[in-house]
Amino acid sequence: MKWNDLKNWNAYWDQLRAALLEPKVDASQLDASLRAARQRIPVPVLWLLGKTQAGKTSIIKALTGSEAAEIGNGFQPCTRTSQFYDFPAETPIVRFLDTRGLGEVSYDPSEDILYCEGQAHLVIAVMKVADLNQASIIDVLHAIRKRHPEWPLLIVQTGLHDLYPDGFQHLLPWPYHVDPLQETIPLELRRALLSQRKSLGQVPGFAPIRWIAVDLTLTEDGFNPSDYGLEGLWHAIESLSSLGLQHQLGLGKEVHDLYARAAHQHIVGHSFTAASLGALPVVDLVSVSAVQAKLLHSLAKLYGQRWDKNTVVEFLGLMGVGIASNYITRLLSRTLVKVIPFWGQTIGALWGASSSGASTYALGKTAIYFFVRRKNGLNIDPNALRRIYTEELKQGASILKKRLQGPDNSS
């Protein structure tokens, strides 16, 4: 069934209703579809290099907003010395590749470089500022840039408070983006920061190198804020790559609520997966609907709502059928004007991907409104529900556009 046939829009709603009320896709079939989908749109990879206890896990926690326990349980081996962490695990938005053992044993980075080649979108080296012996990290960075001179490097200096004088607190606003470093920074800390930066020497290659100083602590450590320098880290990541991860992970200013952030990450991950399925030459409408049904079930669980037959019927009844038909018709018409000679080929697949992903995103955002109102015992306005869906279709298409075009690899 092809998405470039507008008559099939109603068939999509029928299939979604069937997936919610009478699931017919077995786990093995869905898993096979998901594996194929992930190969269509690869997950961006952030490659973390650093010695043990340098703060790599803290960086992952800060960037994803995930709990440390979840991170610790989520790593999977990928080479003899490295492991990866997908976030979210089921429908990942980003993958972290963690190279382990640096500084502990003799380490040959060639295996990891080969593994990352064609995958890594950004190399992040992590150095604890109080540890001036970073020779093992520096050797690896030189080897990487000698082989891949076009790879940008982001070097994160962590544990600033280890070199604070007694009773000293974070300087506000965060001053570490200024070069040269300000004299308000404690002398011992400033010297350590500069010493590490100088020790890197003349790195081969022509791509940019960025140094960022952060202090990511626990609330009980007594330093406020506990994510000191995180915005600077995000700015550096976005400046060295075209990933747009901060918005995709729901860590921008528009998503404040913890529930909303977790829901946003689930929604974006499932949307990318649905888009990947939609990019196949013939859209597997059953699998797309199954992914969407799985998303709605996950959101219901997140908000503590029962997702039984009565709730499904209520949700679909309020949504109605074809609520976005005018938007879809306009979008399809504009597309047809431009691509009639190639319709059903490359552009047809792109349309299938964007419609599958955008509808998944819109469904998820609409479901949040539905579940929050039910959780708080409030009436649900069907017009508001449908308006949210139509508006979020556009937002979903915008988020998906960059991923469908493919992120720029470091390699």
Whether residue 245 lies inside any domain: the answer is no
CA 112 – CA 95 distance, rounded (Å): 15
Q: Is 73 helix (H, G, I), strand (E, B) or coil?
A: helix
Let me know whether 132 and 196 are in one domain.
yes
Same domain, 255 and 164: no
Domain boundary among 240, 260, 292: 240
How does pLDDT run across 333-387, given as a tens digit for each residue?
A: 444 333 333 333 333 444 455 677 888 888 899 999 999 999 988 999 888 888 8
410 located within any domain: no
Give residue 342's pLDDT: 36
3 within domain boundaries: no
pLDDT tens readout for residues 190-231: 999 999 999 998 889 899 999 999 999 988 899 999 999 999
Percentage of the chain exceeding pLDDT 90: 26
Residue 411 lies in a domain: no
Mean pLDDT of 299-324: 80
Instruction: Compute CA distances 319 → 93, 170, 294, 383, whole Å.
Output: 27, 49, 18, 9
Supply the pTM of this predicted model.
0.76
* Residues 233 and 277 both lie in one domain: no
Which of 8-22, 37-51, 113-127 shows the lowest mean pLDDT across its residues? 8-22
Per-residue model confidence (pLDDT) at position 30: 63
Q: How confident is the model at residue 2 (pLDDT cuts 50, 70, 90)?
A: very low
* Residue 202 in domain: yes
- The alpha carbon of 200 is separated from its chain's Cα centroid by a whole number of angstroms, namely 30
Confidence of residue 164 (pLDDT cuts 50, 70, 90): very high
Going from the C-alpha of 129 to that of each of 1, 134, 173, the distances in angstroms are 57, 10, 20
Say how many domains are in the chain: 2
In this predicted model, which residue has the larger pLDDT, 329 or 23? 23
Same domain, 82 and 200: yes
Which of these three, 240, 275, 296, is where a domain ends?
Answer: 240
Q: Of 170, 205, 240, at which residue does a domain stop?
A: 240
Q: Do 212 and 156 touch, CB atoms closer than 8 A?
A: yes
- Look up the CATH number of the domain holding residue 190: 3.40.50.300
More confident residue, 36 or 116: 116
pLDDT (0 to 100) of residue 338: 36
pLDDT at 235: 93
Q: Please report whether residue 147 resides in a domain.
A: yes
- For the chain, the 3-state helix, strand and coil shares in percent, each to the nearest 5, are 55, 10, 35
pLDDT on residue 140: 86
286 and 177 both lie in a single domain:
no
- Write down the pLDDT at residue 10: 59
Check: CB of residue 59 under 8 Å from CB of residue 127.
no
* Shared domain check, 49 and 31: no
Q: Calculate mean pLDDT across residues 37-60.
A: 82
Q: What percent of the chain has pLDDT over 70?
A: 72
Does a structural domain hold residue 151?
yes
Residue 163: its pLDDT value, please?
97
Q: Are residues 75 and 15 in the same domain?
A: no
pLDDT in tens, 10-20: 566 666 777 77
Ranges 21-30, 120-129, 184-193, 294-303: which has the least confidence: 21-30
Q: What confidence score (pLDDT) does residue 367 get?
A: 92
Same domain, yes or no: 118 and 204: yes
**List of residues 6+ apart from 386 with CB closer than 8 A:** 319, 320, 323
Over the chain, what is the mean pLDDT?
Answer: 78
Residues 225 and 91 placed together within one structural domain of the fold: yes
Residues 274, 331: one domain? Answer: yes
Task: Please tell me whether residues 268 and 236 are part of one structural domain.
Answer: no
Q: Mean pLDDT check: name the lowest of 133-147, 173-187, 254-268, 300-314.
A: 254-268
Token digits for 238? 């976005």
Q: What's the pLDDT score for residue 327?
A: 41
122 φ, ψ (degrees, to nearest 5) = -160, 135
The whole domain housing 393 covers 8-39+251-405
Mean pLDDT of 96-103: 74
Span 30-47, pLDDT tens digits: 666 666 666 666 678 899
139 lies in the same domain as 191:
yes
Evaluate whether residue 59 is within a structural domain.
Answer: yes
